[in-house]
Structure 1
Amino acid sequence: MERDGMKLAEALQERADLNRNIEQLKDRLVHNALVQEGELPAESPEKLKQELDAAILRLSYLIAHINETNCKTFVDGKSLTEIIAKKDALSVKIYTYKDIVYAGSQTAYRARNSEIKIKSAISVTDWQSEIDKMSKELRLLDNTLQESNWKTELME
């Protein structure tokens, strides 16, 4: 079912669609795996299994070729795989920093009606400034990846 000239972005979209489709097929199979004696399932489990197997086979093909393309495509001296890894790590860092900033912003705690004052042990402003810079970097990385995905042919 491969076709000439598939862009990496199209392959990524198809991969996402296949993942959703596989989940739906699994749910449909689960709902049709048991029936009352003497009854027929609403859908043929064998037909659903064939659809599931075909979707998984196509997914395997796409994953292999997406990964190969990402490893062999370079933007500004870095492979797409490196850019994706940097983007993923930056996302984790931003998410973690946001949780820390949120915790550091909660200065209204009181211990059992006493007058114990709680203060932040971090500079929330500095941490937030760092989050803002990282968020901009993340957007730029994402833009680079999106642009590259639409310009790059999937390696087959």
Structure 2
Amino acid sequence: MKVAAALRLKNDYALQLTALKQRIMSNLVVEEGSEPFESPKKLIILYHQVSQNYQDLVTRINLHNSSTKVEYPSYHDNFKSGHLMGDLFSNELSPDFTYTEKYIVQALVERESLKEEIRTFKAILDGSKVTRYSTRDILKVPVVDVQQLQKKIDTMAKFLRVLDSRIQEHNWLQDLKEI
């Protein structure tokens, strides 16, 4: 099974667990003399089976991600070496970029970190907008270089797109390892 298929199955298991929990909760109490629509005992057994499948699959995915490497241009590595130029809105990277081979789990952490940094810098950008409703209002000016901050956001977004593409490519091409 490919990693991408395993990730879809993991999501399916999570949705099944949520639905089963709801079905169990809906059948716990009935009017005296009535029977529940579904047997909570059977649903609990099914929930346990799906939960075990979910646990086994997540374990396999995590072991795979911590033992398999992917090559990608790390934003932080390239930031340190100053290789952040080029067209910010394409996924084409400069030949000067440093490519790093890291474990998938490291790439996933970097992807989440980049997403959070982008959200933070966008909030800073939004917070630095000049608001003046009339000429009588006191003029408030940003204390950060808005253009430079926007360029940083665009650069980080480019690296995020490339990193995400590399992770997705890996997930569609690699087989999930057996335990």
TM-score bracket, normalised by the shorter chain, equals 0.7 to 0.9
Which deviations, in whole Å up to 9, do the C-alpha atoms of 1:73-129 show, x marking residues without a partner?
112321111111111111111111111111112x2267xxx7222222222222111
- Total equivalences in the alignment: 147
Gaps of 5+ in 2: 72-100
Task: Report the Cα offset of residue 46 of structure 1.
Answer: 1.3
**C-alpha distance in structure 1 between counterparts of 2:30 and 2:106, whole Å:** 49
Letter in 2 for 1:78: K
**C-alpha distance in structure 2 between counterparts of 1:102 and 1:42, whole Å:** 52
**C-alpha distance in structure 1 between counterparts of 2:132 and 2:26, whole Å:** 49
Could you say what secondary structure the match of 2:128 adopts?
A: helix
TM-score in terms of structure 1 length:
0.87
Gaps of 5+ in 1: 1-5
**C-alpha distance in structure 2 between counterparts of 1:115 and 1:149, whole Å:** 55
Q: CA RMSD in A?
A: 1.5
> Superposed, which structure 2 residues align to 1:25-104 within 5 Å?
25-76=20-71, 77-104=101-128
Counterpart in the other structure of 1:118:
140
**C-alpha distance in structure 1 between counterparts of 2:30 and 2:105, whole Å:** 46
Counterpart in the other structure of 2:75:
none
Could you say what secondary structure the match of 2:143 adopts?
A: coil
**C-alpha distance in structure 2 between counterparts of 1:82 and 1:51, whole Å:** 35
Counterpart in the other structure of 1:3:
none
